[in-house]
Chain A
């Protein structure tokens, strides 16, 4: 006897709308997975060709609010590559600060959702409250809790003075012990271990075959972090240490994300303490000639690739992006098959799906 289960598209445990059609046997183990998407498709690849380069700085930010710094970052890198301009060093440093703050907040949100899905209410609250430190910081420095609007063509829109640097360092001082406590709890807490270890396993061979990226790859023992493999901005000097795990389960992926946050804290501290002097953006707006460029950056979820084609006008001819969830999504079929129906949303959450990026 097989039972058909549908989850979604509007479901309180799903942050975004997706639609699952599952078949399960008598033991409630999934035997067939059908994923139906398209709910978040907003036609953004068409929209970006209707808007000019300045407008697209904001439109790319609205692709997804959780990686909302990486999209304009990658887009700005692509435009700068075509224009052939060199970004001031201070701007590169400030871009790293914005990116890492965003990465910490994004990963904490995913961990909070994990705690929520395993009904560990106290841990969820604690994670959300730790995340609030980063949210408050974003609101004070960049003016919005989600969409920071930090990047501009040839630089950044914001600057840090001594007062703001002080605020960042103080916030990180409060943040660090909380993060240590969270890391300890996610690693050893009975409830977390019971529900996440050995669940949704993605073996290394499958991870390589499917080309997964980000914490999903690192949880299966593959390091393909763009910040390490093809450094951009200041990552060449900062040398991020990535966390690798071999288990390939929900727990391993969560721990990789926590490791990323610890690294983010270290890098933010290092950058703001030795902030290079200089301009935050070039005084002259760049001339954008006809050309093509491909760039890649590391979003909180993995590798993000931007392709941009211009023809010398004020609007892109074509812009396309490959997002981390696009490859990670396929891995879900491996992870969900053979799992309990009750674990499906938990496994989905463990790849930190960004459906708005994927379907755009």
Chain B
């Protein structure tokens, strides 16, 4: 990459569980993550830095010290928020001791969600930070879309990355919403059906939703590209509609059991047709009438 300025990096931990910090050390000192290609220097004093890598959800205790420390940095500089905590405070959001997220206290340029992000993602985020720093120095317009710089990184099939949903299999049973520890999933009722929303920047990539999902509708993909500009932070969601069906008997809206769920209940037997066609009320009535005919 063409360079006009030497990137000098300083890391601040604002109360993280140290996962991101450990992974940052791995990124910085293990050659396979290519950070050396960027010519980044790790500086001892925050005054010398022009790239700040910040982890953690900003605890009450850290906040004043943090503001004092960053006031010493001379512009132009770039702020890279590493980990879900720094982006949205993630799993710690509801705590009394959390004053974050980070963007309340400093202008963030690049975010990388993950719990913790892979070193590959951290390296990519820092590379984007270096690029933005150069644009700032040369007074160039900021990039509106981030092009991947390190294209040769791969993730194993089993890597727990970005969550996805197969709306065909989902029955809107709210199991994922209940077990999600960071409140990244919300299911709301609308006129057309149930709207299933996943906030990728709040997700802590634990895989609880896919583990407990009875139909395998929600699942983790191995996509680890969670590097984003600050502007994209609140819009990175996955929204799916689980539509209502009209009951063939009474005409009311209902959510039929999906094929995946029926298959679980009737592994061998023939599936009663009315399961997908009638609403629970009508099925109850039909069964009752059949018993007393």
Residues of A in contact with B (beta carbons under 8 Å apart): 9-10, 12, 15-17, 19, 38-44, 46-47, 50-52, 54-59, 61-66, 68, 109, 112-113, 116, 124-125, 128-129, 131-132, 135, 139-147, 149, 152, 157, 354-356
Alpha-carbon gap, A44 to B32, bound state (A): 35
Asked if A43 contacts B159 (CB within 8 A), the reply is no
Q: Which residues of B sit under 8 angstroms from A38, Cβ to Cβ? A: 59, 61
Residues 51-80 of chain B, each 1 if its beta carbon lies under 8 Å from chain A, else 0:
000001101111001100100000000000
Asked if A15 contacts B61 (CB within 8 A), the reply is no
Task: Name 11 A/B residue pairs within 8 A (Cβ), A-sorted.
Answer: A10-B66, A12-B11, A17-B15, A55-B179, A64-B17, A65-B116, A116-B29, A128-B29, A149-B160, A157-B207, A355-B18
What's the least CB distance linking A14 to chain B, in Å? 8
Alpha-carbon gap, A355 to B13, bound state (A): 12
Given contacts A55-B180, A68-B19, contact A42 B14 (CB under 8 A): no
Asked if A356 contacts B18 (CB within 8 A), the reply is yes
What's the least CB distance linking B229 to chain A, in Å? 25
Alpha-carbon gap, A116 to B24, bound state (A): 14
Q: Which residues of B sit under 8 angstroms from A62, Cβ to Cβ? A: 17, 19, 91-92, 115, 204
From B93-101, B145-153, B190-198, the one touching the partner chain is: B93-101
Alpha-carbon gap, A164 to B155, bound state (A): 17
Given contacts A9-B65, A65-B116, A146-B116, contact A17 B13 (CB under 8 A): yes
Given contacts A42-B92, A59-B181, A143-B220, contact A132 B30 (CB under 8 A): yes
Q: Which residues of A sit under 8 angstroms from B162, Cβ to Cβ? A: none
| Highest count of chain A CB atoms <10 Å: which of B19, B20, B98 | B19
Asked if A41 contacts B208 (CB within 8 A), the reply is no
What's the least CB distance linking B98 to chain A, in Å? 6
Asked if B19 contacts A58 (CB within 8 A), the reply is no
Asked if A109 contacts B22 (CB within 8 A), the reply is yes
What's the least CB distance linking A341 to chain B, in Å? 15
Q: Which residues of B sit under 8 angstroms from A157, Cβ to Cβ? A: 207, 211
Given contacts A10-B12, A147-B206, A356-B16, contact A128 B30 (CB under 8 A): yes
What's the least CB distance linking B105 to chain A, in Å? 14
**Which 5 residue pairs across A and B have the least CB separation, nearest first?**
A65-B19, A43-B97, A143-B160, A43-B95, A55-B181
Number of interface residues of B (CB under 8 A): 62
Asked if B156 contacts A139 (CB within 8 A), the reply is yes
B234 within 8 A of partner (CB): no
Alpha-carbon gap, A146 to B18, bound state (A): 10
Alpha-carbon gap, A43 to B93, bound state (A): 10
Alpha-carbon gap, A112 to B97, bound state (A): 32
Asked if A139 contacts B159 (CB within 8 A), the reply is yes
Asked if A39 contacts B65 (CB within 8 A), the reply is yes
Partner of B159, one of A66, A125, A144, A354: A144
Given contacts A58-B204, A59-B181, contact A356 B17 (CB under 8 A): yes
Asked if B95 contacts A47 (CB within 8 A), the reply is yes
Asked if B69 contacts A65 (CB within 8 A), the reply is no
Q: Which residues of A sit under 8 angstroms from B66, Cβ to Cβ? A: 10
What's the least CB distance linking A98 to chain B, in Å? 14
Asked if B160 contacts A44 (CB within 8 A), the reply is no
What's the least CB distance linking B110 to chain A, in Å? 20
Asked if A63 contacts B17 (CB within 8 A), the reply is yes
B23 within 8 A of partner (CB): yes
Asked if B18 contacts A66 (CB within 8 A), the reply is yes
Asked if A128 contacts B26 (CB within 8 A), the reply is yes
Alpha-carbon gap, A54 to B206, bound state (A): 12
Partner of B62, one of A9, A139, A143, A144: A9
Alpha-carbon gap, A68 to B11, bound state (A): 22
Q: Which residues of A sit under 8 angstroms from B95, Cβ to Cβ? A: 42-44, 46-47
Asked if A54 contacts B179 (CB within 8 A), the reply is yes
Given contacts A124-B29, A132-B32, contact A39 B61 (CB under 8 A): yes
Asked if A55 contacts B65 (CB within 8 A), the reply is no
Alpha-carbon gap, A63 to B12, bound state (A): 19
Q: Which residues of B sit under 8 angstroms from A40, Cβ to Cβ? A: 13, 15-16, 56, 59
Residues 26-38 of chain B, each 1 if its beta carbon lies under 8 Å from chain A, else 0:
1001111000000
Asked if A15 contacts B59 (CB within 8 A), the reply is no
Given contacts A10-B69, A132-B26, A146-B19, contact A57 B208 (CB under 8 A): yes
Alpha-carbon gap, A59 to B205, bound state (A): 12
Alpha-carbon gap, A41 to B59, bound state (A): 7
Q: Which residues of A sit under 8 angstroms from B137, Cβ to Cβ? A: none
Closest to B46 in A: A10
Q: Which residues of A sit under 8 angstroms from B17, Cβ to Cβ? A: 62-65, 68, 356
Alpha-carbon gap, A55 to B92, bound state (A): 12
Q: Which residues of A sit under 8 angstroms from B32, Cβ to Cβ? A: 132
Asked if B15 contacts A39 (CB within 8 A), the reply is yes
Asked if B94 contacts A50 (CB within 8 A), the reply is yes
Q: Which residues of B sit under 8 angstroms from A147, Cβ to Cβ? A: 19, 115-116, 205-206
Q: Which residues of A sit under 8 angstroms from B25, Cβ to Cβ? A: 15, 109, 112-113, 128
Closest to B207 in A: A149
